[in-house]
Structure 1
Amino acid sequence: MQPPTEQLVDKESKAEANKLETTGNETTMNLNNIVYQNIQSSPYFKSLYEFKTYHEIIDEVYNRDPFLKGTTASSAFCLLYKLWTLRLTVKQINGLLNHPDSPYIRGLGLLYLRYVCKPVKLWDWFEPFLDDREEIFPISAPKVRCAPFPNPTRVQVPTSFNV
């Protein structure tokens, strides 16, 4: 059995190893200013205040659309920013990326990393998912199908979406 001081050091070093290194603006999560303001004023985002844990937020993710027409903040971006307020750990990010229930959860995890991960670490996170072909069907555009990393030769970016 370890002395209490060694146990404390072990816990601190494990916590530090589990901390996701981030970059950029700690307040806005590096989001575009208009997107950030739309999230802050969103009634849906305000309703998320009652959720205090990672698991409560994940339960909200199913079938959330990342894009909405106009300047309304989408539910997916509201959830993304709510996750940012929790300052996810490496273990929680892995939980998002490897969640068995929904590609939307994995997509939100990748989007989270895209906005806050240090650029030198991004490839390490994204590389295992480059062959992922599970499709996501945005609710706002039912004729559009998206894969997290579609074949670059057939990428078509819809121009009618706003975040």
Structure 2
Amino acid sequence: MILNEFPDIGWLKSQIAQGFSNRLGWGNLPLDKEGFPSVIIHTRVKECYRPDVKGPFSFFLNIRGTSYCGIDSQKTRIDTDNYYVSNRQQLYTLGVEEDLGDTETFNIHFGDFLSESVLNSTGNSGTPDPRRGYRKTIVACPVLQPAAPPRRPL
């Protein structure tokens, strides 16, 4: 799914809590599977605050401007030279402050099905799950560090 706006935060949190069980994306776009879908969000914003989103494995990048992303009490500045990665099931907060000017974001969220498919293809067959075939338990790994220059704290 490719979006040119952030979905309404109330709707998003409700869908996450229900595991996208109605198989509907933003704008009632039909989804093939339950679970957090794979999404690319490319949008321009002057200000936003999206607190405590329980997301999938995600990359947060900016094409222009500055934003911040944080997990727990960490808050990291994202600009054109730095990006942020969050792990599956982590609560992240994404924000753009109005006084920082226009920001053009490009965020990639790797949905549940894609993440599980990639992880399942990298090892043994896992355990059977009657609804989804063979399945492995996904273990969270530490947040990856960018290969770009060091991130600057806010």
TM-score, scaled to structure 2: 0.28
Larger-Rg structure: 1
Q: Which has the higher strand share?
A: 2
Task: State the TM-score, normalized to the length of structure 1.
Answer: 0.27
